[in-house]
Structure 1
Amino acid sequence: MEMPSKQQAIASNRDAWNDSARHHKETAQWQALLSAVTQADFSCLDETLIGVLNPVGIDGKDVVQLGCNNGRESLSLFALGARHVVGVDQSVAFLEQARELASRSPHSPEFIEADIHHLPQSLQGRFDVALVTIGVLNWMPDIGEFFRHAAQTLKPGGALVLYETHPFLEMLDPQAPDPYRLASSYFRHEPFVQNQPIVYEGKVEQQAAPSYWFVHTLGAIFSGALEAGLQISHFREYPHSNREELYDRYEAQEAQVPMCFTWVGVKRGLLITQCNK
């Protein structure tokens, strides 16, 4: 199979996510979300992420979420005291959903359409905290370039916070006949390719633009961040899943694999210290 160029993969992923948005809106979860965001203290963030964000400090801060999807997590940052929140995504269709949710919220986030590789100048050096949650890193063909652009959004001393699926899980296929047998190399270079719509649970048997899911080792993540001028102040791995329900089968095993991680990198300047609790 011929691999796409970086630009082709980014554009195809954008098309795939724009197509995906309608499937996510046709759910009971969307209707519940429309109601939930009307509350000033709305939050969909789990305890793990909140436990990392609180020591970093969100109260009174300017925060950007890179890869904000439908904006539900961006809206949740106000419950932690964020002063101003900007959500960035390259999917116009998901940003329409984000703005619909924001229109029902007592808060006023800003949502911007932009590819992480072409962020507007107005976002440079502006934020105290940048947030990246599950799945964002794996849509990035070049993880080092991602960190360079992400770091540029931060003020000196600002923190980039990641809450991501663990790359070890990319070695396993929960739908395989033997889901505990290693199915792919940890050092895989070629992306996983999907030609059906991107949905969080199950499958939609329709043709869609190809989406390209890139695997990045922890070494590549750490090296890319350090080269981008970020000083790592926190890293912790967890035995719980923060992705699709089919991965729940790997939890609570006698021989437990790491399933997700949290990570904080501080832009060189004023150092924010954080303990691994």
Structure 2
Amino acid sequence: MSDQHASAELALGTTGIAKRGADAAESRAANRRWWDADADDYHAEHGGFLGAADFVWCPEGVREAEARFLGDVRGLRVLEVGCGSAPCARWLAGRGARAVALDLSAGMLRHARAANAGTGLDVPLVQASADQLPFRAGSFDAACSAFGGVPFVADVGEVFREVARVLRPGAPWVFSVTHPMRWIFPDDPGPGGLTVTQSYFDRTPYVEVDEAGSATYVEHHRTTGDYVRALVGAGLELLDLVEPEWPEGHTRKWGQWSPLRGQLFPGTAIFRTRKP
């Protein structure tokens, strides 16, 4: 738990951390409530960095405008999974894509609606979970997720199978997540975050609970190999794994991300894949 999210923890009655599993239904319910409760504070803190119509892949500041992981999106139907307030989808729409933005949280989508109105980029918004995509097979030309729903779903293989199902052949699926090796360190941007405190191979999710033991927040850990096996198992082809280096002169802290840690080990993993 953290002072950074004190308002959400108070609203949800979070009292501690439980060392236990969390299935798909509990993960969905807990994270829907969490992001609804944290949406205002999240955007107050990070909204300026993310922008209203910008595509930032990670706290290191990698932008799609320069990286072009998705290529030329003009005229393509593109799905953003775990969109938050959907700045990435609006950036894509501004480049000629027919973007659709999906998120589990009504609180996040409330911010997305406001940003749609403020920018004039009226991206369609859909409330659903990343492992239950409400779209027909082969209906998108590309899909992306910039620190979206992937870590919050119990079965990442189901997320990848769903994404593969809705993509057309040849379509890219690119997503960024916290680098798996960060799991072994505390969520501390300072010197305390440089000491290993748990096993990389311990897949027990991080679960915050209320007084009754019900989950108020769930995040699932996967090793790099777990991600690769799940992608291959879903029939996707891994093209590249990008581990952004900390940019020179970049001083902004974001939760556990900081210049101190970023100069020593990666904080983000960006998986570039495609449907054959």
Which whole-Å CA distance do the structure 1 matches of 2:204 and 2:36 have between them?
A: 23
Q: Counterparts of 1:131 and 1:149 in 2: how far apart (Å)?
A: 13
What SS does the aligned partner of 1:223 have? helix
Q: Which residue in the other structure is 1:238 paired with?
A: 244
Once residues 159 and 55 of structure 1 are traced to their aligned partners in structure 2, the CA distance between those partners, rounded to angstroms, is 7
Amino acid across the alignment from 1:3: G
CA displacement at 1:215 relative to structure 2? 0.6
**Residue equivalent to 2:151:** 138
Offset of residue 117 of structure 1:
2.2
Q: Residues 101-250 of structure 1 correspond to what in structure 2 (within 5 A)?
A: 101-122=115-136, 124-134=137-147, 136-175=149-188, 178-195=192-209, 210-240=216-246, 244-248=254-258, 249-250=260-261
Amino acid at match of 2:265: V
TM-score (norm 2): 0.78
Does structure 1 residue 67 correspond to structure 2 residue 82? yes
Post-superposition Cα deviations, 1:128-155, rounded to whole Å, max 9, x if no partner, equal 1101112532112111111111212211
CA contact (8 A) 1:134 1:243 kept: no
- Report if the CA contact (8 A) 1:69-1:98 is conserved: yes
Question: Is the counterpart of residue 251 in structure 1 residue 252 in structure 2?
Answer: no
Partner of 2:274: 266
- The Cα of 1:48 is off from its aligned counterpart by 4.7
- Alpha-carbon distance in 2 for matches of 1:55, 1:5: 32
Aligned counterparts of 1:129 and 1:218: Cα–Cα separation in 2: 23
Question: Which amino acid in structure 1 is aligned with residue 229 of structure 2?
Answer: S
Task: Look up the equivalent residue of 1:182 and give its one-letter code.
Answer: V
Taking only aligned residues, the RMSD between alpha carbons, in angstroms, comes to 2.8
Percent identity for Structure 1 against Structure 2: 22
Q: Distance in 1 between matches of 2:253 and 2:215?
A: 22
CA drift at 1:110? 0.6
| Residue-pair matches, total | 245
The one-letter amino acid paired with 1:22 is D
- RCO (CA 8 Å, sep 6+): is it higher in 1 or 2? 2
**Structure 1 length-normalised TM:** 0.78
Which shows bigger deviation, 235-244 or 63-72?
235-244
Q: Any idea what SS the aligned residue of 1:130 has?
A: strand
1:203 counterpart residue number = none
Q: Which amino acid aligns with 1:264?
A: R
- C-alpha distance 74-243 of structure 1, shift in aligned 2 (>3 A): farther
Q: 1:246 & 1:29 partners in 2: Cα distance?
A: 14
Task: Give the Cα–Cα distance (whole angstroms) in 2 for the partners of residues 177 and 216 of structure 1.
Answer: 25
Instruction: Say if 2:29 is the partner of 1:11.
Output: yes
Unaligned residue ranges in structure 2 (runs of 5+)? 1-18
**Residue 6 (structure 2) aligns with:** none
Aligned to 1:96: 110
How much does 1:174 deviate?
Answer: 4.4
CA distance in 1, matches of 2:215, 2:206: 14
Structure 1: gaps spanning 5 or more residues: 197-207, 269-277
